[in-house]
Amino acid sequence: MVALFSAVVLSLAVASSSVTAAALAGRAPAHAPLRSSRLLRRTCRHVAVVKDITSESEFNAALKQAGDALVVIDYSTSWCGPCKVIAPKFAEFSDQFPAAAFYKVIGDSSSDANKLMSKQGIRAVPTFQLWKGNTKVCEISGAKAAALEEAIQANV
């Protein structure tokens, strides 16, 4: 009887402690503290943000919202091989230069995006335009990461 009573008390104590119960089950409890907050701090940083522009009105709104800050626009298509190659580097630049706004226009995503590319005179993809204060300050055609980085550094 004493052994049965001890087993019941022990099982109640274990059940009331989710940390202990989870440990006995071989898993971490839902509310367990992070094991290494240093690791978390090291991995939490500015997240690369490249926003989509799908029309001329969104293009104008992006330039207006940026004010005097640098706006970098990547004009590409979904089928373009060099566009796919440079896309991760473009996203990296958005992380590297948080003071600038980064956008992409995918010309074959909609007729409005295609019209915007035509209106901007885009004849090859990828093409990158840098805008500051509603004025185009630079245009780079081709997947030239080094040239793009230099242009961003010079204008940011």
Query: Catalytic residue numbers?
Result: 80, 83
Nearest Cα to 126, choosing from 108, 141, 106, 110?
141
Strand order from edge to edge, sheet including 51-52: 51-52, 101-106, 70-76, 127-132, 135-141
Other CB atoms closer than 10 Å to residue 136's CB: what's the count?
A: 14
What six digits make up the tokens of 15? Answer: 């059940």
Q: Are 144 and 85 in contact (CB under 8 A)?
A: no
Coil, strand or helix at 71 = strand
Other CB atoms closer than 10 Å to residue 145's CB: what's the count?
A: 16
Q: What is the distance, to the nearest Å, from the Cα of residue 79 to the centroid of all Cα atoms in its chain?
A: 21
